[in-house]
A and B are shown apart, each in its own frame.
Chain A
Amino acid sequence: MAGERNDNRDAAGVEAGLRESLKRELEGEIRQTLEAELRGELSQELRERLVARLKAELSEEIQVRIARIKAELEAEILSRGVPVPTLPPPPREFERFSMNVRVQHIVLMVSCLILIITGLPLKFHEARISQIFFDLVGGVQMSTLIHRIGAVGLIAVGAYHLFYLVAFREGRRNFLRLLPTPKDVRDFFQMLRYFLGRIEEKPRFGRFSYVEKFDYWAVYWGMVIMIGSGLILWFLETSLRFLPKFAADIAREAHSDEGLLATLAIIIWHFYNVHLNPEHFPMNWTFWTGTISEEEMHRHHPLEYEEAMAARTIRPPLPGGLPETGALAADPAVRPPTREGMQPAAGEKSP
C-alpha cells in the first residue's frame, strides 16, 4: 500500500512538472511566433482571440500528453512488478444539496409527517384505525397539540426558506434555476414521447428537471392553503371577529381536502420519483448525504454536469490565463477522487 502511494505521488509530481514545463515552452513559442511573423500588423483584438484559441488547443494538447505520459508511467510501474491498485477509483461525488437545504428539507419532512399522522385521523374519523390512533396518543386534545407542534415546524421552515431565497447567494441561484421556463414544457412533451417509445432520447435536464420544479412549486401552493386555513382554525375566535362563520367552514374544507391532496402527492408522486422508482428503490439517501454520483449527475442532470465540466477545464474569461493545477483541484463544483471515500461536501460557491 505504501509503495503504491509513493508511486502515485511521484506520478503526480512528474505530471505537475511536465505541465509547467510544457506550458512555459509552448507559450514562449507562441509569443515568439507572433512577434516574429505578425509584427503588429494584426489588430490587438485579433491577436487576443488567436491567443485564446491557441491556449484552448494547448490545454487539450496538455491533457492528451499528460494522459499519454500517465499511461507510460503506469506501464512502467507495471513492468517493474509493483502491484497496481486493484480497487476501482472511488466515484466522484457532486454536491446536490447544501447543508442548509438539507436541514430545511428535514424540518419540512418531519413537520409534514407529524401533520399527516395527526391530521388524517381527523379527516377519516369514522375509520377504526383513527380510533386506535386517538387511544394511542391519549385523546383528541393530545393529537391536536401534536398537530400544532408540527404546524410550528412547517411555518418556521416556510418563513426561513423565504429568508434563504433572499439572503443567501446559493438561495438566489437555486431560485433562479427553479423558475419555470419554456424548456420545461418542451422537456415534458419530449419525456412523454420518450415514455411512449416514439423517441430514444430523454430530455436533457439542467440542475432541476420539470418534475423537481413541479414538486417545489406544489409546496408553495400547499403551504399557502394549509398555513392560511390552518391559522384561521387554530385562532378561530380571533378569526371569527373579522370573518363570517362560512369562511371558517371554507378554511376547514380546504384544510382537509388540500391535506389529503398533499399527502397523496408526497406518498405517491414524490416518493416514487425520489425513492421508489426501480433505479433508486427502496431509498435514495441524497436528502441525507447531499451528494450524487458523477454517473447519476451525468444521467439526470447532463446540462448541469456539462456546465460543471466546462468550468473545470477551460475558463476563457479569466484574465490569469490557464487555470493553475492547484485551482483545478480546488474547484468546488468538482470533487477530486479521494481514497477516504465519501466526505461531506463543502458549501457550494458560484464560479
Chain B
Amino acid sequence: MWGSKGLGAGLAGAILILLMAGGAEALTKCLICHGKPTLFKTLPSGRVLSLFVDEKQLKESVHAARACTDCHSDITAIPHKGEIKRVSCIRCHFKGNPVGAPQKDIYVEYAKSVHGVAAAAGNTKAPVCQDCHGNHNIRHPKDPASQMNKAHIPETCGRCHLAVYGDYRESVHWKAFASAKRDSAVCTDCHGEHTIRAHESPESSTYITRVPETCSRCHASVAVVGKYGIKTEQVATYGRSFHGIAIKYGGKTVANCASCHGVHDIRPSDDPSSAVHIENIPRTCGKCHTGANVNYAKGKIHVDPTKREAGLVYWVSLFFKWLTISVMVGLTGHIGLDLFRRFRRQGSAH
C-alpha cells in the first residue's frame, strides 16, 4: 500500500518535472523566432500582426509553467504547417480538468452572453476569453497588473468600445475611481462580466426595467456610496415616484435612472454639462415630456414628502396625515359609542 502510493507520487513528480523541463525547452525553441520584437506577419486584411512573445511577460503570467503547445496545440512542426487557429481555453478550463485549471460555472455563461453569441455566430471581432483576460500576459484579475483588474477594465473594454470609453472617461464614475474611490463603477459593475448581454435583452442588467435595480446595488447601499457622502434616499424616492412604480410593474416607456442621468457619461448635477444640471432639466425631461419648460426644474426632483426639505409637499403630507388621523378617530369613536349604546341597551333589557 504505502509502497504503491509512494511510487505513484514519485511517478507523478517525475512527469511534472519532465513536462516543465519540456516546456522550458520548447519555450527556448519557440523564442528563437518569437523572441524577436520585429517578428510580424501581414494578415489578408492588411493588418500587421506582431508575432513577438515577451518572455518576461510570459514568465510572470499564471501560465508560466505551461508549454507553448499546451495552448497552441495545433502547432506540431517548425516551420508551422497549415492555418494556425485561435487558442481555445476550454482545452484546460473545464470542470474536473486534471491540470487544476480554475473553472467556475459562471464562465459557462459566456456562451449566452452578447460576446459569446456573436463569436459563436462567426463574428471574428467578438471577444473570446483571451481578448479580455490577456494572452501571454494573462494574470489573476486580483493582480494589479492584470488587464482584468478593476483598474484596467475600462481600458480593456475600451480597446473595442472606444467611443463609450471616451464618454466614460468624462463621467463621475471614472473621476471618482481615478481619485482612489475604488468602489466606483467600471464597465463590468453595471454590465456584468461573463453574463454581459445587449441592453435590449430583458436578461441584461442594463435592460430598461432593470437599470434601477442595477444602479441601486451601489446607490441603495450606505456601505458603498455612504462612505463618499452620497445619499441613498434617491433610490427610495425613485421607487415611490410614478416612474419607479410603473417600471416595477412592467412599464417600458417611463424614465429609469439612466434616462435622466445619462448612461456612460453620468455627471454630477452641479456640472453645467450634466443632463440633470438645473439648466438642462427642461431639455432632459423634454426627451419624453413634450413641451417641458423651466417649470420642470421648480421643485425637488427626488422628493420625499416625509422630509422637511420637500417644502410645501411636506406640509401638505403632514396636513393630510393629521386630517386622516383625527377624522378617523372621530368617526370610529362615533361608531364605538353607537355600538356601546346598542349593546348596553340590549344588556339592560334582560
Residue ranges of A at the interface with B (Cβ–Cβ < 8 Å): 122, 125-126, 131, 134, 139-141, 143, 192, 194-197, 211, 236-237, 240-250, 252-254, 257-258, 260-261, 264-265, 268-269, 272-273, 277-278
| Cβ contact within 8 Å between A269 and B331 | yes
| Contact of B335 (CB < 8 Å), options: A125, A192, A260, A269 | A269
Contact A140 to B341, CB < 8 A, known contacts A240-B293, A246-B311, A265-B327: no
List A contacts of B16 (CB < 8 A). none
Secondary structure of the A contact surface, majority rule: helix
Report how far A244 CA is from B338 CA in the complex, Å.
Answer: 47
| Cβ contact within 8 Å between A246 and B312 | yes
| Cβ contact within 8 Å between A246 and B250 | no
List B contacts of A250 (CB < 8 A). 312-313, 316
Residue ranges of B at the interface with A (Cβ–Cβ < 8 Å): 239-240, 242, 245-246, 248-251, 289-293, 295-301, 303, 305, 310-313, 316-317, 320-321, 323-324, 327-328, 331-332, 334-335, 337-342, 344
| Cβ contact within 8 Å between B316 and A254 | yes
| Cβ contact within 8 Å between A249 and B293 | no
Further contacts, 12 of them, CB under 8 A, given A257-B316, A265-B327, A277-B338: A125-B249, A134-B249, A236-B289, A242-B295, A244-B299, A245-B296, A246-B312, A249-B305, A253-B313, A253-B320, A261-B324, A268-B332
| Cβ contact within 8 Å between A140 and B289 | no
Report how far A131 CA is from B250 CA in the complex, Å.
Answer: 11
| Contact of B249 (CB < 8 Å), options: A140, A246, A269, A278 | A140
Identify 6 residue pairs between A and B in the complex whose beta-carbon atoms are under 8 Å apart, listed by A's number: A125-B240, A237-B292, A240-B289, A254-B316, A268-B328, A268-B335
| Cβ contact within 8 Å between A246 and B298 | yes
B312 to chain A, nearest CB (A): 6
Report how far A245 CA is from B281 CA in the complex, Å.
Answer: 11
List A contacts of B339 (CB < 8 A). 277-278
Contact A237 to B291, CB < 8 A, known contacts A140-B250, A250-B313, A257-B317: yes
List B contacts of A194 (CB < 8 A). 341
B300 to chain A, nearest CB (A): 7
Chain B residue at minimal CB-CB distance from A236: B289
Chain A residue at minimal CB-CB distance from B323: A261
Report how far A278 CA is from B343 CA in the complex, Å.
Answer: 9
| Cβ contact within 8 Å between A195 and B245 | no
Report how far A47 CA is from B291 CA in the complex, Å.
Answer: 82
Contact A264 to B338, CB < 8 A, known contacts A246-B299, A257-B320: no
| Cβ contact within 8 Å between A140 and B246 | yes
Most buried by A among B249, B290, B324: B249
| Cβ contact within 8 Å between A253 and B324 | no
| Cβ contact within 8 Å between B341 and A197 | yes
Chain A residue at minimal CB-CB distance from B342: A278
Most buried by A among B250, B292, B297, B339: B250
Report how far A242 CA is from B290 CA in the complex, Å.
Answer: 14
| Cβ contact within 8 Å between B245 and A125 | yes
List A contacts of B239 (CB < 8 A). 126
| Cβ contact within 8 Å between A245 and B299 | yes
| Cβ contact within 8 Å between A195 and B340 | yes
| Contact of A139 (CB < 8 Å), options: B249, B297, B312 | B249
| Contact of A254 (CB < 8 Å), options: B298, B320, B327, B331 | B320
List B contacts of A252 (CB < 8 A). 242
| Cβ contact within 8 Å between B251 and A249 | no
Chain A residue at minimal CB-CB distance from B289: A237
Give the 4 A-B CB pairs with smallest separation, nearest first: A246-B299, A257-B320, A244-B298, A195-B337
| Cβ contact within 8 Å between B305 and A253 | yes
